[in-house]
Amino acid sequence: TCSLLRSPKGFPKLKNDTFLRAARGEETEHTPVWCMRQAGRYLPEFRETRASQDFFATCRSPKLCCELTLQPLRRFPLDAAIIFSDILVVPQALGMEVVMVPGKGPTFTEPLKEVEDLLKLRQKVDVTAELGYVFQAITLTRHSLEGKVPLIGFSGAPWTLMSYMIEGGGSSTMAKAKSWLYRHPEASHRLLRLLADVIIDYLLGQVAAGAQALQLFESHAGHLGPELFQDFALPYIRDIAQAVKSKLKEEALPLVPMIIFAKDAHYALRDLAHAGYEVVGLDWTIRPQEARAQIGKQVTLQGNLDPCALYAPKEKIGELVKKMLESFGTQRYIANLGHGLYPDMNPEHVGAFVEAVHAHSRHINKH
């Protein structure tokens, strides 16, 4: 249970460190597995917990975030938990209003339209004041996990957040946000720098609060080509890893493994392999062998089963997992989906996925 009466430190001893070992490139008996959006609407208990609450009000309640983070772990033998939150809490911390519109998704009431609108953003963000509720949720959840598995913290990456802030929500083309990159490159860099600085502080705060790994989501990488990615995404992705690591050292905080997940960025895998992250997450549109060839052996890979494979019968899921493990190899590898779970997925099929990863990887390791 998630009660708020615990001390911030003195965390329980970790019982299953398979995920952290794989992230660091150490040998593991089985391939660890977790799922993006594992705390989510596909679980009836999630829908029940969230029923009466506004989405962002849920994000601001440490007790609810803790409960939602733990739900999938009560059902499945996952090797990691990821804190329940949203990438758009960062734009909120910059002073933007975001509401969750049923049937439409996250919507900014006043997206950035002109370069002058950047002046409306907070230029200095005190992350503890603005995002302290996430830190509280992490500390509470880390205690409530009782050392069962490690807890992952996360943030959206600068380009992905910028695209939401200009588009005002989801978009199939990102034309408004991309037009800034072409028309207002200097202003775009100012915004991306502001975001990167907040993200660095935010990720540090998450580790101080108890996060044992960090994932950076560049979910909209696929809207950029190699040149735009090179100019407007990669430098900030690199900078975040470097700054977080040097500041963790300075503040004598644990050096936690970091994961970069840049969806649809096959064109940048070589660069991402050298961007300072222990783990590179992959979407389902790239062959494991190709990814390994481009990324090399020094970095752990994470991914990349097509989420829609979970609509298949359970036996078929097992076959697909076996093939995936054979393609990636069972070491320096963390099994996951190539993107998040969808709300209409059958929890039993998620369980079949998790169990298949454990069973097949153990079998392959023995033989």
**What digits encode the pLDDT tens for the residues 31-72?**
999 999 999 999 999 999 998 889 999 999 999 999 999 999
CA atoms of 30 and 68, how far apart (whole Å): 26
pLDDT tens sequence across 260-282: 999 999 999 999 999 999 999 99
pLDDT tens sequence across 299-358: 999 999 999 999 999 999 999 999 999 999 999 999 999 999 999 999 999 999 999 999
Domain total for the chain?
Answer: 1
Domain contains 65: yes
Question: 5 pLDDT exceeds 80?
Answer: no
Of 85, 109, 300, which is closest to residue 202 (Cα–Cα)?
85
Domain contains 24: no
Domain contains 17: no
Domain contains 12: no
Domain contains 239: yes
Domain contains 274: yes
C-alpha to C-alpha distances, 150 to 161, 297, 350, nearest whole angstrom: 26, 24, 19
CA atoms of 138 and 205, how far apart (whole Å): 10
- Look at the block and give the residue holding tokens 């072409």: 182
Domain contains 116: yes
Domain contains 5: no
CA atoms of 365 and 53, how far apart (whole Å): 45
Task: Identify the pLDDT of residue 3.
Answer: 75
Give residue 290's domain range. Answer: 33-366
Query: Catalytic amino acids?
Result: 37, 41, 50, 86, 164
Query: What CATH number corresponds to the domain at position 50?
Result: 3.20.20.210
CA atoms of 269 and 282, how far apart (whole Å): 9
